[in-house]
Structure 1
Amino acid sequence: MNGIFHLRRRPAAALATLLFAALAGAGGAALADAPAAVPAALAAADCAGTPVGFASVNALGHNGTTGGAGGPVVTVTTAAALKDYAGRPGPYVIQVSGRIQLGGMITVVANKSILGVGTTAEITGGGLQLGSTTRPGNNVIIRNIRFTNASDDSISVTNKAHHVWIDHNDLSDGYDGLLDIKRESDFVTVSWNRFHNHSKSALLGHSDNYTADIGKLRVTYHHNYFDGTDQRHPRVRFAEPVHVFNNYYRANALYGVASTENAGVLVEGNYFQDVAHPIYVGYDKSGPGRVVERNNIYVNSGTPQTAGTVVEPGTYYSYTVDDPATVPATVTAGAGVGKIGC
């Protein structure tokens, strides 16, 4: 099925720092801090730069998500340089080195890979917005970056952006959402990220009145670590199908997943620990959605709400669900920055 594969991560010793496949695809050379040896299967999965889930689907003129592969490889250390390259036409592989202080949102346009170098790449004080109303943010990859103290969203996927892969980042302490996907965006994968020290983690769907999102917002969330965040993991409006699998939910104060406004969400193979309300059908003033849950583990957690039927994500792409009992160890070892094994 489109050559998509999913390989299980191994515990932390095998998950050393990095060289990205997107760099190899763009002709970049290996970084000096790449690990000496990584198990072959893990290296193949990470170094191929291939997402699992909706970002892999052949649709809307894109056969998967390749980001800036084939374009120039540049390294940025300042906000001005990041803004410049992120807004240029054509493909670019943009390596973020060190800490970059922003004063607001930077617009990222089509065919970009924004990749943190090593374990210290950080964007703070602002965030990345994928696309504007006149310049689409399609075919974008964001990996291995720490996002802190954003003045608005840390990452906003908006304005019909499609084929986006958000992978192996660390997001915390923002003002609004850590990762919001909205306004008719589509075919997105959110994988192996750590969310922490924040309330509103991952919104999917702009508002109860924004019905243009119907038929869009197809997103896969897998192997993310929702580490003590309060809510929106994700909070979904209108979208179907939304696929939430093999994520680790720990001590989420308000709820885990919320499906509203007739959204269709499949929640499978996740591990909920100390989550009083793991799944809601409807939330706050939003009308009910639909949820199918299967093969999840609930430890010291409440009873999930479910309703209706949901389109199977497997009709779009192939995937493998890890044993949910392994999820806490696998996800804590593999999610976040500096965990890409190549």
Structure 2
Amino acid sequence: MRFRHIAVVAGVLGLFCVPAHAEARDIARDTLPAGDGWASYGAGTTGGAAADDDHVHTVTDRAGLVRALDNGSDTPKIIRIAGTVDANTDDDGDHLDCADYATGGYSLKKYLAAYDPRTWGSARPSGPQEEARQASAARQAERVVLPVGSNTTIVGLRGAVLKGASLQVRNAENVIVRNLDLRDAYDCFPVWQPNTGGLGDWKTAYDNIWLTGARHVWIDHVTASDKGHPDEAEPTYFARNYLRHDGLLDITNGSDLVTVSWSRFTGHDKAVLIGNGDTVAGDRGRLRVTLHHNAFESIAQRAPRVRFGQVHLYNNRYEVTDGHRYSIGVSTESGIHAENNAFHTPGHIEVADLVKSWNGTALHQSGTLFNGYPVDLLTIHNAYNGGSERDLTADVGWTPTLHTEIDSAAVADREVARGAGAGRIP
């Protein structure tokens, strides 16, 4: 019996042990599985999987990352990020702060004095301090805006962090970003935007990832946050919070065929914007996006907000906290198909607070859990918000066909809690 026991144990252990001669899986060569959301449509999304050995890079600093990106070229390439890469560094790798970018006599103190709405009024800022702000902002943009070209895979190695950068996929296609902790796309020089109907607001420049005119993009197991400089720690100027961050992920300007999966969006105001304007008619028929198995934690709004797009939103997990404005934003001509999502909220936040509509007409929802209880987001929205917002119908004009297995909200809730974000690819 003793020898039989040893043999059985050895056989079980063999199921979990990789032979010494076996090759480890290279996630940088992974491609999007067939049927996994809108990015699998047509030819699918392969990123840089076809890259030859000369175009496989491991980078440890900004300079190496810039060289590997090759100014957004279309050459198939794989870029592995190791350690922490800080975009706010000079060519020698020394850290740059906001004072290093300031030029033309810009100072925040002078800017606030020049454009105080009590004296300046509601006109857009102009003159020496606004010109100095623009010049200073351009200097920062030269460092932190990183263009990503077609046929590119960017993957983080264990513990990889990209800090202070704005990855921008502009008019490119077939891009994969995976297993990467994206932190603190921090704008040193927000612009004041007056509003004739009110005080106005501060406008910032950088998203952690911005897709503009992009096609066939897969974002997977990414963590995106403001970690390092949370906006709630910023002061108030002109009775408005001095925001330093824009979106965590913006998908705009005709971008199309995007899958966002198993990612974690946390500690931020405006998380995911799909479609950037109510009058951008060129977005019709585009902005097809799937978001599944993502975690939205301490997000105030835009999880996501959608204009025009056909968006499949399923098996996502929401942890709603104080400061929450809404989660799902239904805007002009949007068609959101929301299935089996789970929301966790404090007691004072109601189901009606989860959905907000601006000119939107439809929301399909099913299988929603609210603090463990099944709810109908559509019915409750119409009952409680009908006086101030348009009633929504359930007919969004399309039915999703490209998706992985859709779990119950309860199962997805548990799986996402332990599996979403950087460093958690099985």
Partner of 2:393: 307
- C-alpha displacement at 1:337, in angstroms? 1.0
**Does 1:53 pair with 2:47?**
no
- State how far apart, in whole Å, the 2-side matches of 1:211 and 1:296 are: 31
Contact 1:22 1:68 in 2 (8 A): no
**Does 1:249 pair with 2:249?**
no
Choose from 261, 264, 277 the match for 1:194.
264
Give 3-state SS (helix, strand or coil) of 1:254's partner.
coil
Choose from 284, 288, 294 the match for 2:360.
288
Partner of 2:49: 69
- C-alpha displacement at 1:318, in angstroms? 4.4
- State how far apart, in whole Å, the 1-side matches of 2:285 and 2:32 are: 27
- State how far apart, in whole Å, the 2-side matches of 1:127 and 1:232 are: 19
Pair 320,312 (structure 1): closer, same or farther in 2 beyond 3 Å: farther
Residues 299-333 of structure 1 deviation map (CA, whole Å, 9 limit, x = unaligned): 28986234241244434x24321111112211011
- State how far apart, in whole Å, the 2-side matches of 1:48 and 1:84 are: 24
Contact 2:219 2:260 in 1 (8 A): yes
Residues 40-67 of structure 1 deviation map (CA, whole Å, 9 limit, x = unaligned): xxxxxxx665271001110xxxx10000
Give 3-state SS (helix, strand or coil) of 2:303's partner.
coil
Give 3-state SS (helix, strand or coil) of 2:271's partner.
coil
- State how far apart, in whole Å, the 2-side matches of 1:318 and 1:256 are: 22
**Does 1:109 pair with 2:149?**
yes
Max Rg structure: 2
**Does 1:147 pair with 2:173?**
no
- Which residue identity lines up with residue 297 of structure 2 in the other structure? D
TM-score, normalised on structure 1?
A: 0.79
- State how far apart, in whole Å, the 2-side matches of 1:80 and 1:88 are: 16
Comparing 221-230 with 292-301, greater Cα deviation is found at 292-301
- State how far apart, in whole Å, the 1-side matches of 2:81 and 2:223 are: 14
Partner of 1:219: 289
- State how far apart, in whole Å, the 2-side matches of 1:73 and 1:313 are: 39
- State how far apart, in whole Å, the 2-side matches of 1:205 and 1:338 are: 29
Residues 190-215 of structure 1 deviation map (CA, whole Å, 9 limit, x = unaligned): 11111111111000001222221111
Residues 251-292 of structure 1 deviation map (CA, whole Å, 9 limit, x = unaligned): 15111111110211001010011153464351xxx3124100
Q: Which has the higher contact order (CA 8 A, sep 6+)?
A: 1
Contact 1:213 1:238 in 2 (8 A): yes
- Which residue identity lines up with residue 211 of structure 2 in the other structure? V
Q: Percent identity?
A: 36
Partner of 2:417: 332
- State how far apart, in whole Å, the 2-side matches of 1:235 and 1:48 are: 27
List gaps (5 residues or longer) in structure 1: 1-13, 26-46
Partner of 1:98: 83
- State how far apart, in whole Å, the 2-side matches of 1:232 and 1:289 are: 17
- Which residue identity lines up with residue 148 of structure 1 in the other structure? R
- Which residue identity lines up with residue 145 of structure 2 in the other structure? M
- Which residue identity lines up with residue 66 of structure 1 in the other structure? T
Pair 269,21 (structure 1): closer, same or farther in 2 beyond 3 Å: farther
Residues 223-259 of structure 1 deviation map (CA, whole Å, 9 limit, x = unaligned): 00001111101000111x2100000011151111111
Give 3-state SS (helix, strand or coil) of 2:400's partner.
helix
Contact 1:278 1:303 in 2 (8 A): no
Contact 2:298 2:319 in 1 (8 A): yes
Partner of 1:266: 337
- State how far apart, in whole Å, the 1-side matches of 2:297 and 2:403 are: 28
Partner of 1:207: 277
- In proportion to residue count, which structure has more helix? 2
Residues 125-155 of structure 1 deviation map (CA, whole Å, 9 limit, x = unaligned): 1220002xxxx32100000111111031000
Contact 1:242 1:313 in 2 (8 A): no
Pair 198,257 (structure 1): closer, same or farther in 2 beyond 3 Å: same
- State how far apart, in whole Å, the 1-side matches of 2:251 and 2:343 are: 23
**Does 1:237 pair with 2:307?**
yes
- State how far apart, in whole Å, the 2-side matches of 1:223 and 1:246 are: 5
- Which residue identity lines up with residue 146 of structure 1 in the other structure? D
Pair 175,318 (structure 1): closer, same or farther in 2 beyond 3 Å: closer
